[in-house]
């Protein structure tokens, strides 16, 4: 049983699901994008709030998919091993949902009716979780220093702001949510260890 706990089961399942959805999109054209893309009109006017979640599984092209899935798998595997399957899933989806909400708020402010898709908001959330773990969860993560993770975050943000047609609000929202949630998980874990130590 412990061997399965060490395997990135949720992370691998998310990657497979994203790839399967992309393959379906290849054969169905714009159907899933029309039904699940994140935009102000469909979410806030028509009340299709599920799009905040569905958009996390849609990608514009193979390059978009590949970049997100590579980061999801390697970063996610590290986090899932340390936090467990359930906490990892919660951190991932919380980051993705918060990134979608921030994206929508920014679109409203800018009167932007464009549609966004992709898992990058949730993936940026994983960056935030890793940064929190580098700062607060030192056991077993000696190679993941705050400086290294901080550089990764800066380069990732720079790549987004330097590109075109990038939903940077989603990236920032996911990053902030992942960092905040990661800090809470790390602090709770430290408290649990102190309590267990006192009990012994």
pTM higher than 0.75 for the full model? yes
Instruction: Give catalytic residue positions.
Output: 120, 171
Break the chain into its structural domains and give their ranges: 2-199
What architecture does CATH give domain 2-199? Answer: Up-down Bundle (1.20)
Cα dist from 155 to 16, 92, 107, 109, 159, whole Å: 26, 21, 24, 26, 6
**Residue with the larger pLDDT of the pair 161 and 40:** 40
**What's the pLDDT band for 163 if we cut at 50, 70, 90?**
confident
Tell me the range of 94-98, 132-136, 163-167 where mean pLDDT is highest: 94-98
Element (DSSP H or E) covering residue 30: none
**Residue with the larger pLDDT of the pair 161 and 6:** 161
């Amino acid at each position: 049983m412990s061997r399965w706990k060490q395997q990135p089961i949720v992370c691998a399942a998310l990657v497979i699901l994203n790839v399967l959805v992309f393959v379906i999109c290849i054969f169905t054209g714009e159907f899933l994008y029309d039904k699940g893309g994140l935009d102000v009109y469909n979410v806030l006017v028509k009340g299709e709030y599920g799009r905040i979640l569905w958009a996390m599984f849609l990608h514009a092209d193979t390059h978009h998919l590949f970049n997100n899935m590579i980061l999801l798998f390697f970063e996610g595997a590290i986090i899932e091993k340390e936090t467990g399957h359930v906490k990892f899933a919660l951190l991932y989806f919380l980051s993705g949902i918060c990134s979608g909400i921030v994206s929508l708020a920014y679109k409203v402010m800018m009167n932007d009716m464009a549609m966004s898709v992709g898992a990058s908001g949730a993936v940026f959330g994983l960056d935030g979780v890793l940064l929190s773990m580098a700062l607060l969860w030192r056991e077993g993560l000696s190679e993941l220093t705050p400086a290294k993770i901080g550089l990764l975050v800066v380069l990732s943000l720079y790549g987004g702001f330097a590109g075109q047609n990038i939903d940077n609000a989603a990236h920032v929202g996911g990053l902030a949510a992942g960092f905040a949630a990661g800090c809470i998980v790390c602090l709770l874990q430290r408290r649990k260890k102190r309590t267990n130590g006192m009990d012994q």
